[in-house]
Amino acid sequence: MKIENIRLSINLQLFAEDKDSKTEKATPKKKQDARKKGQVFQSREITSALVLVFIFLGLRALGDNMYKEINTLTIKAFSQYIIADKYFTENGIWELFADIFKSLIIIIGPILVIASAIGFIGAYSQVGFLFTTEPIKVKFNRLNPFQGFKRIFSSRGLVELLKAIVKITIVSYITYIYINKEVSNILILMNSGAKEIGIYILNTTINVALNICIALVFFGLFDYVYQWWEHVKNLKMTKQEVKEEYKQIEGNPEIKSKIKQKQRQMSMRRMMHEVPSADVIITNPTHVAVAMKYDANISEAPVLLAKGEGYIALKIKELAKVHNIEIVENKELARTIYKTVDIGEAIPQELYQAVAEILAFVYSLKGLKGGS
């Protein structure tokens, strides 16, 4: 029995991650740029519902005063405004408009203030202070009918349709439940006067609307969570976008590397420039070299002017020979200073004794006694 080799052709691209797939969280810069364009998440559902709740609460609390003012305005309209001759002159017309405007302010002014305040608080608590003209700029791609159909039949369009269906269901259900409870009271109203019927209809309407708006507030909380999730999803970035943004912020890695190289070279030249002023060079003897200087007027302890390893150590020793600076071999001390002391720093206290002995030896060679 012959078993033939079977080869399976597998497309390895199936295992490769799509370069255009947005899998990375938005960076702070991406969020900031989106905010400048007005792309922030907020639930208009919860803001609208809160505004309506407080409007109807305001109507319930201020209803009596509003009724009295409307009643007064109506009486004036039929008893004064139509009959009095002064309202048919130029000055009278201005007086008439001023009187009516004053009454309207008293009637609807508090409700407008309440609606504006709650609307502002609701929006500010979600977005904060934001002023941008981006959303109102003319964008001709919005006039494209194909783009319009695409937005209508997109996933967001479907979500908006579902939200509308849910809101209609909430309104219908609460209205049905409330009216069903009031059937007996509605039948009793048949023997009531017009005023009682009007008051009953007004109170019932406000109560139904208030219950509906409270339910819509809870619906708005779910919408708020959804808007947050969708906002985060829309701001996600591809790996390539993150890399490009990093390059813009931090600069091209190759350019940064060249800049660091130049900085190291400049630092090296400054360090080598200080070597001729050193009192002593301590080595280990071939791999490490450190240049020390002691000036009582500048520092209480010897200061490290330069240090290096390998090729740099070799250059330090060559400069020392050119400028007749003593080179002292002390493997342990040279290695310790190289590892623990930075250029321009004084040596730590635990090294005072060892360095002082070397400096004393160097000064003795120069015919000095004590410090410089």
For residue 353, what is the domain's CATH number? Answer: 3.40.1690.10
pLDDT at position 233: 85
In a domain, 371, yes or no: no
In a domain, 240, yes or no: no
Q: For residues 157 and 279, state if they share a domain.
A: no
Over residues 191-212, the pLDDT tens digits come to 778 778 888 888 888 889 899 9
In a domain, 2, yes or no: no
Q: For residues 278 and 209, state if they share a domain.
A: no
Over residues 138-197, the pLDDT tens digits come to 555 556 666 655 666 677 778 888 888 998 999 999 989 988 888 888 778 777 787 788
Over residues 290-332, the pLDDT tens digits come to 998 888 777 788 888 889 888 888 988 888 888 888 888 888 8
Q: For residues 59 and 136, state if they share a domain.
A: yes
In a domain, 14, yes or no: no
In a domain, 187, yes or no: yes
pLDDT at position 253: 67
Q: For residues 206 and 71, state if they share a domain.
A: yes
pLDDT at position 288: 92
Q: What is the mean pLDDT of the chain?
A: 80
pLDDT at position 172: 92
pLDDT at position 179: 85
Over residues 2-43, the pLDDT tens digits come to 444 444 454 545 444 555 677 778 777 777 777 777 777 778
Over residues 62-98, the pLDDT tens digits come to 888 888 888 888 888 887 777 777 767 778 788 888 8
Provide the pLDDT confidence category of residue 274 given band limits of 50, 70 and 90. Answer: confident
Residue numbers of the domain that contains 301 = 271-365
In a domain, 112, yes or no: yes
Q: For residues 227 and 277, state if they share a domain.
A: no
In a domain, 137, yes or no: yes
**115-129, 234-248, 306-320: least confidently modelled range:** 234-248
pLDDT at position 145: 64
pTM over 0.85: no
Q: For residues 43 and 174, state if they share a domain.
A: yes
3-state secondary structure the chain: CCCCCCCCCCCHHHHCCCCCCCCECCCHHHHHHHHHCCCCCCCHHHHHHHHHHHHHHHHHHHHHHHHHHHHHHHHHHHHHHCCCHHHHCHHHHHHHHHHHHHHHHHHHHHHHHHHHHHHHHHHHHHHCCCCCCHHHCCCHHHHCHHHHHHHHCCHHHHHHHHHHHHHHHHHHHHHHHHHHHCHHHHHHHHHCCHHHHHHHHHHHHHHHHHHHHHHHHHHHHHHHHHHHHHHHHHCCECHHHHHHHHHHHHCCHHHHHHHHHHHHHHHHHHHHHHHHHCCEEEECCCCEEEEEECCCCCCCCCEEEEEEECHHHHHHHHHHHHCCCEEEECHHHHHHHHHHCCCCCECCHHHHHHHHHHHHHHHHHCCCCCCC
